Structure 1
Amino acid sequence: MIICIGAGPGDIGYLTQRGAELIRDADVVAGFEAVLNVVRSLIPETARVISMGYRDQVEQLDKVAVDHHAGKKCVVVFMGDIHFSGFQYLERVERACGHPVESLPGISSAQILASRAKVCFDETTFITFHRRGDLEPFKRHLVHVLQDQRNAIVIPCPWDAARSFMPWHIAKYLIEQGIPPSQPTEVWENLTRAEAEWHGTLAECAEREVSDMSIMLIRTMAPMASQIEPAP
């Protein structure tokens, strides 16, 4: 067995009961060090722990695949939910194993933000820049989302300076593309942990640097009116 598990946004209290059960029963638990630290208290003393980073993830996942093919019960943990910003990592797991693997969804920071900020996903588009490859199609999509008068929840790209696309970069880019500088904007950091929130405009966001553990909400300029029955 091998299964990929979304471990939630950073607080173990947001890990699903099924995810916790699978980790407690695993022979091998693998993932990035920061994610392993979230679930460390659940990992059996007898389990093999395979930690990895961006540079050695392919090599380390090959070790997980060897254990999997040897009949071990293997769990690979992801931060948040696998299908919000971990899909490329899932592809690497499947490439290492040579076949599709099962996945168990988790709670994402986008879901936590929607709850904190009281926005509805029916009226909101989620976009992540936390990915390898060409970001341009996703940048254009974000512009179109805001032009269509939808909220946008955005996970930035925090990698090397040459490629990073953090909230202040995103704000500058959107203003250059004609999005109003006065567009209401929020940046939330370390959700479910040492939380901090900032509220302002795109123009103000363009001048404000934040940590890597951040997520962004750009609110529509024209919120949808309530469609429930009128109040008595």
Structure 2
Amino acid sequence: MIICIGAGPGDIGYLTQRGAELIREADVVAGFDAVVNVVQSIIPATAEVVLMNYRDQVAQLDAVAKAHHQGKRCVVVFMGDIHFSGFQYLERVERACGHPVDTLPGISSAQILASRAKVCFDETTFITFHRRGDLTPFKRHLVHVLEDARNAIVIPCPWDAARSFMPPHIATYLLQQGIDPAHPTEVWENLTRAEAEWHGTLAECVDKTFSDMSIMLIRTLAPMDSQIEAAPGT
């Protein structure tokens, strides 16, 4: 067995019961250091732990795949939900194994943000820039989302300076594309830890600095009217 598990947005309290059960039963638990640290307390003492980073992930996943093919129960943990920002990592797991693998969804930072900020996913589009490759199509999509009067929940790209696309860069790009600078904008850091919230406008976001553990909400200028029935007596 090999299964990829979304381990939640950085707090073991957001790990699903099924995910915890699979980790407790595993022979091998693998993942990036920060993610494995989240679930460290429930990893069995008998399990082999395979840690990795961006530089050695291919070689380490090959080792996990070898254990899988030997019949060991292997779990690969992802931050958040696999299908929100981890899809390229999932592709690497499947490439190492040579076949599709099972996945168990987790709770993402986007879901936590929607809850804290009281926005409805029906009226909101989620976009992540936390990925390798050309970001241009996703940047264009973000422009179209705001032009269509939808909220946008955005995960920035916090990597090296050459690729970094953090909230100030995102705000600058949107303003260059003609997006109204008055859009209400929020940046939330460490959602499940010591929360830090910044509230302002898209224009004001240009000059701010935020940590790598950031997620961004850009609200529409024209919120959708409630479509529930009128209150009694009105």
Asked if 1:153 corresponds to 2:153, the answer is: yes
* 1:142-191 C-alpha deviation (Å, 9 max, x unpaired): 00000000000000000010001000000000000000111100000001
**Aligned partner of residue 3 in structure 1, secondary structure:** strand
**Aligned partner of residue 30 in structure 1, secondary structure:** strand
**Aligned partner of residue 175 in structure 2, secondary structure:** helix
Note the aligned Cα RMSD (angstroms).
0.4
* 1:69-100 C-alpha deviation (Å, 9 max, x unpaired): 00000000000000000000000000000000
In 2, Cα distance between equivalents of 1:42 and 1:122: 35
Asked if 1:176 corresponds to 2:155, the answer is: no
**Aligned partner of residue 175 in structure 1, secondary structure:** helix
In 1, Cα distance between equivalents of 2:44 and 2:224: 49
In 2, Cα distance between equivalents of 1:195 and 1:19: 25
Match of 1:126 in 2: 126
Structure 2 segments unaligned to the other structure (5+ residues):
none
Aligned 1:97-136 pairs, distance under 5 A: 97-136=97-136
TM-score, normalised to structure 2, is 0.99
1:193 deviates by 1.1
TM-score, normalised to structure 1, is 1.00
Asked if 1:191 corresponds to 2:191, the answer is: yes
In 2, Cα distance between equivalents of 1:62 and 1:89: 13
In 1, Cα distance between equivalents of 2:4 and 2:51: 14
Query: Which 4+ runs in 1 deviate beyond 4 A?
Result: none
1:212 deviates by 0.2
1:195 deviates by 1.1
Match of 2:31 in 1: 31
1:231 deviates by 1.1
Amino acid aligned to 2:34: A
In 1, Cα distance between equivalents of 2:54 and 2:205: 28
In 1, Cα distance between equivalents of 2:99 and 2:30: 18
Amino acid aligned to 2:85: S
Match of 2:162 in 1: 162
Amino acid aligned to 1:179: I
1:194 deviates by 1.3
How many aligned positions are there?
232
Percent of counterpart pairs with the same letter? Answer: 84
Structure 1 segments unaligned to the other structure (5+ residues):
none
1:224 deviates by 0.0
